[in-house]
């Protein structure tokens, strides 16, 4: 019954503007109209990521719950961990609408939101009020008009650090002009130092773009190693547009979903040969097989977003349960045992 309702709901949502549909999906979550099986777990799925205990390794990627208004229902949707945000120091409206496009034939999306959010104070207040649940991280961003973007990351970290289980330095969004320049070696080292100085005991994750060259990936790994980053999330959305069919393929912004799977998995596998920092694999996951492939390519945990637009939240528990079956099939006693066991295929 729930699955049928979800199908009808998704069909309806796909008839309206994607950003309005997203708003309705968040409302439905807040009203308890979405599947809430609780975190899926098993001895095989239980794992740790940068010291955090996860009931399963399937997480919600940043950008779905930008303002942290649906943490409680998302905690019960089957995910092993969730990431909210991005939060910037000051509230900001983001780019003009329309700024989110469905590429249905490609099982993909293009967004150019540009960090629309209610700002770190409002978001941190919600994080501080949240009850028990799966680990929750905050994606850190910089204001568009800031004169010192690197300092913005440290500002959000300072305010939020005692209310989150991890915080992610996101220098990989393509929708804030010049933000990605902060991935360069010297700029990234300085930015991370600033964030590490104020992090208290909160683990700092770093999220990177899929469009980095192998040399740039190596630079990022070097800087992350020396800075003491606790995990690297690979990857954000791509500026690439290869092989798309949908009429929206020419829209500016970051592409996510199925067409990002291979590219992001290659970056993940490459990174896993350059660092022992735990990795989180993101990009194009829509099935248990995809999640398993990312784990075997080097990810200790995974995240997803775009597939939810097409499959609904019930896919989360399907992916986690399916992953448990795949691990069992191949004789792995735990997720951790499978990490990186097939990275060669992606190098
Ligand atoms: C509408 C939308 C908004 C996003 N906002 C953020 C964001 O604020 N911060 C961030 O690090 N990533 C953001 N992302 C990127 C996702 O977290 C994820 O890295 C990317 O979409 C690839 O995963 P997917 O193919 O499962 O969607 C956003 C993605 C989408 C589709």
Helix, strand, or coil (residue 302): strand
How confident is the model over 254-268, as pLDDT tens digits?
999 999 999 999 999
Q: Could you tell me where the DSSP H helices lie in 99-175? A: 120-129, 149-160
Structural tokens at position 156: 């959000």
Give the ligand 1 atom nearest the CA of 168. Answer: 11
Following DSSP, what letter does each residue of 75-143 receive, concatenated? HTTT-SEEEEEEE-SS-B--SPSP-EEEEGGGTEEEE---S-B--HHHHHHHHHH--S-S-EEEEE---
- Total-model pTM: 0.97
- Report CA torsion sign: 120, 121, 126, 131: positive
Q: Distance from the CA of 208 to the center of ligand 1, in angstroms?
A: 11
Closest CA to 86 of 99, 67, 105: 67
Q: Give per-residue burial for 34-57: e unless 16+ CB within 10 Å, then b.
A: bbbeebbbbebbbbebbebebbbb
For 281, phi then psi, to 5°, come to -95, 125
Give the ligand 1 atom nearest the CA of 66. Answer: 8
Following DSSP, what letter does each residue of 229-293 receive, concatenated? -SEEEE---BS--TT--SGGGG-SSEEEEGGGHHHHHHHHHHHHTT--S-EEEESS--SHHHHHH
Q: From CA 36, how far away is CA 30, in angstroms rounded?
A: 11
CATH of the domain at 47: 3.20.20.70
Q: Distance from the CA of 332 to the center of ligand 1, in angstroms?
A: 30
Place of tokens 């097989």: 289
User: Which helix or strand (DSSP H or E) is residue 31 part of?
Assistant: none
User: The domain containing residue 143 runs over which residues?
Assistant: 2-346
pLDDT of the residue at 1:
44
Cβ(284) – ligand 1 distance below 6 Å: yes
Q: From CA 102, how far away is CA 332, in angstroms rounded?
A: 37
Give the ligand 1 atom nearest the CA of 117. Answer: 8
Mean pLDDT of the chain: 94
Q: Could you tell me where the DSSP H helices lie in the chain? A: 2-13, 18-30, 71-75, 120-129, 149-160, 185-197, 214-227, 261-272, 288-297, 306-311, 314-329, 335-338
Cβ(95) – ligand 1 distance below 6 Å: no
Q: Is 256 a catalytic residue?
A: no
Query: Are 204 and 196 in contact, with CB atoms under 8 Å apart?
Result: yes
Torsion angle in degrees (nearest 10) through CA of 275, 278, 281, 282: -100
Q: Distance from the CA of 30 to the center of ligand 1, in angstroms?
A: 21
Cβ(208) – ligand 1 distance below 6 Å: no
pLDDT by position in tens, the chain (length 347): 456 567 667 777 778 889 988 998 899 899 988 878 888 999 999 999 999 999 999 999 999 999 999 999 999 999 999 999 999 999 999 999 999 999 999 999 999 999 999 999 999 999 999 999 999 999 999 999 999 999 999 999 999 999 999 999 998 888 888 888 888 899 999 999 999 999 999 999 999 999 999 999 999 999 999 999 999 999 999 999 999 999 999 999 999 999 999 999 999 999 999 999 999 999 999 999 999 999 999 999 999 999 999 999 989 999 999 999 999 999 999 999 999 999 999 99
What lies within 8 Å, CB to CB, of 147 at 6+ separation is: none
Closest CA to 321 of 135, 9, 80, 83: 80
Considering its fold, how many domains does the chain have in total?
Answer: 1
Q: Which of 75, 146, 173, 300 is catalytic?
A: 173
Structural tokens at position 89: 């120091």
Q: Distance from the CA of 127 to the center of ligand 1, in angstroms?
A: 20
pLDDT of the residue at 5:
62
Query: Are 270 and 345 in contact, with CB atoms under 8 Å apart?
Result: no
Structural tokens at position 346: 């992606």
Cβ(257) – ligand 1 distance below 6 Å: yes
Give the ligand 1 atom nearest the CA of 261. Answer: 25
């Amino acid at each position: 019954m729930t699955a049928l309702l979800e199908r009808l709901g998704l069909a309806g949502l796909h008839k309206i503007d994607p950003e309005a549909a997203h708003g309705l999906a968040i409302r439905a979550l807040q009203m308890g109209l979405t599947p809430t099986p609780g975190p899926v777990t098993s001895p095989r799925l239980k794992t740790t990521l940068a010291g955090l205990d996860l009931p399963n390794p399937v997480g919600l990627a940043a950008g779905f719950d930008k303002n942290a208004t649906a943490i409680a229902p998302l905690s019960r949707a089957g995910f092993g961990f969730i990431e909210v945000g991005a939060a910037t120091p000051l509230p900001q409206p983001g780019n003009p609408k329309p700024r989110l496009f469905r590429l249905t034939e490609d099982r993909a999306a293009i967004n150019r939101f540009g960090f629309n959010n209610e700002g770190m104070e409002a978001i941190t207040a919600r994080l501080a009020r949240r009850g028990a649940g799966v680990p929750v991280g905050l994606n850190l961003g910089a204001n568009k008009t800031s004169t010192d973007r690197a300092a913005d990351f440290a500002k959000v970290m300072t305010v939020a650090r005692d209310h989150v289980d991890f915080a992610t330095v996101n220098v990989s969004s393509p929708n804030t002009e010049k933000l990605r320049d902060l991935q360069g070696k010297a700029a990234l080292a300085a930015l991370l130092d600033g964030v590490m100085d104020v992090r208290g005991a909160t683990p700092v994750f770093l999220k990177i773009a899929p469009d980095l060259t192998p040399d740039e990936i190596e630079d990022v790994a070097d800087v992350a190693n020396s800075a003491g980053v606790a995990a690297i999330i690979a990857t954000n959305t791509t500026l690439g547009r290869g092989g798309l069919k949908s009429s929206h393929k020419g829209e500016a912004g970051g592409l996510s979903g199925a067409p990002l799977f291979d590219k992001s998995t290659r970056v993940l596998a490459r990174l896993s040969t350059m660092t022992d920092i735990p990795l989180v694999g993101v990009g194009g996951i829509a099935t248990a097989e995809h999640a398993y492939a990312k784990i075997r390519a080097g990810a200790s945990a995974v995240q997803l977003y775009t597939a939810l637009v097409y499959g609904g939240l019930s896919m989360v528990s399907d992916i986690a349960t399916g992953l448990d079956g795949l691990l069992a099939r191949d004789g792995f006693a735990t997720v951790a045992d499978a990490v990186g066991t097939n990275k060669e295929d992606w190098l």
